[in-house]
Amino acid sequence: QSLLTQPPSASGTPGQGVTISCSGSSSNIGSNIVNWYQQLPGTAPKLLMYGYHQRPSGVPDRFSGSKSGTSASLAISGLQSEDEADYYCAAWDESLNVYVFGTGTKVTVL
Amino acid sequence: EVQLVESGGGLIQPGGSLRLSCAASGFIFNNYEMSWVRQAPGKGLEWVSYISSSGSAIYYADSVKGRFAISRDNARNSLYLQMNSLRAEDTAIYYCAKDSSGLEHWGQGTLVTVSS
């Protein structure tokens, strides 16, 4: 059972915005940075966001992250067909000394 | 260009052992922490293990503690995962990942199937 909870699915039409939530606890999100990963169908995951709102080179600024207390969010603006993927939040849990992934959210572009 | 290439996966009977390897190139391997992450068929991501750049700090998920062992050979730019007492629930694609401000580079994965 994952320590980080995400909604199983989210959807929107092209051009719309979508927000994915990630709920944790004081020992993981509350104490450490949150990373977000994107996994396109049939491919390896890719780091999408690190720290609070840092994007690796090549990640469009349509993706943004935020954190408040023990929760974090990933927002996608101007949804595009190529954004259809699974998205995972993740953070180090300092009580258990483990890196925890969220349950994952499948984003569908209608 | 950073490259991570996993190998060593395959079909193994329950209770058996397997050693996964990850060959790294395109970066100074001994400067970076590394991790193994797995994904069971149709399921989400599960972190397996972490090793510091020198190998002095190691952590495991509870699900593999006592059965799996992570190691690295900085002279060979290689990461390893020794998996013992394998169970059906260990069936997954295993990815190695370069750890820097998050798991910033991933290999393509190697499939481990535990079945009789």
Q: Which chain A positions have a beta carbon within 8 Å of B32's beta carbon?
A: none
Model pLDDT, residue A97: 94
The neighbouring-strand residues paired with A63 are A76
Q: What is the pLDDT of residues B17-26, one digit of tens each?
A: 999 999 999 9
Out of A33, A35, A101, the one facing B46 most closely (by C-beta) is A101
Question: Model confidence over B39-85: pLDDT tens digits?
Answer: 999 999 999 999 999 999 999 999 999 999 999 999 999 999 999 99
Confidence of residue A3 (pLDDT cuts 50, 70, 90): confident
Distance from the B61 Cα atom to the nearest Cα atom in chain A, whole angstroms: 6
pLDDT digits (tens, 9 = 90+) for B24-51: 999 999 999 999 999 999 999 999 999 9
pLDDT of A109 strictly over 80: yes
- pLDDT value at position A1? 62
pLDDT of residue B86: 98
Q: How far apart are CA B29 and CA A3, in angstroms?
A: 31
Residue A52 predicted with pLDDT over 80? no
Contact with chain A for residue B61, Cβ under 8 A = yes
Q: Is the pLDDT of residue A103 over 90?
A: yes
Question: Looking at the complex, does the CB of residue A97 fall below 8 Å from at least one CB of chain B?
Answer: yes
pLDDT at A38: 98
Model confidence band, residue B107 (pLDDT cutoffs 50, 70, 90): very high
| pLDDT of A64 higher than 70 | yes
> Which amino acid appears at position B86 of this protein?
L
Measuring CA to CA, which residue among B96, B76, B75, B97 is closest to residue B9? B96
Contact between chains at B50 and A35 (C-beta distance less than 8 A) = no
Please classify residue B63 by burial: count the beta carbons closer than 10 Å to its beta carbon, then call 0-12 exposed, 13-18 middle and 19+ buried. Answer: middle
Chain B interface test: which of A48, A53, A57, A99 (most B C-beta within 10 Å)? A99
Residue A53 pLDDT level (bands cut at 50, 70, 90): confident
Does residue B3 belong to the interface with chain A, where contact is any CB pair within 8 Å?
no
Q: How confident is the model at residue B101 (pLDDT cuts 50, 70, 90)?
A: confident
Residue B108 forms contact with A (CB below 8 Å): yes
- Calculate how close chain A gets to B48, using CA atoms only, in Å: 8
- Is the minimum CB–CB distance between B9 and chain A shorter than 8 Å? no
pLDDT of B62 reads 96
> Residues A73-79: what's their mean pLDDT?
96
Cross-chain Cβ contact B104/A44 below 8 Å: no
Closest-CA residue of B relative to A97 is: B59
Mean per-residue pLDDT over chain A, rounded: 95
Answer whether A17 touches B (CB < 8 Å). Answer: no
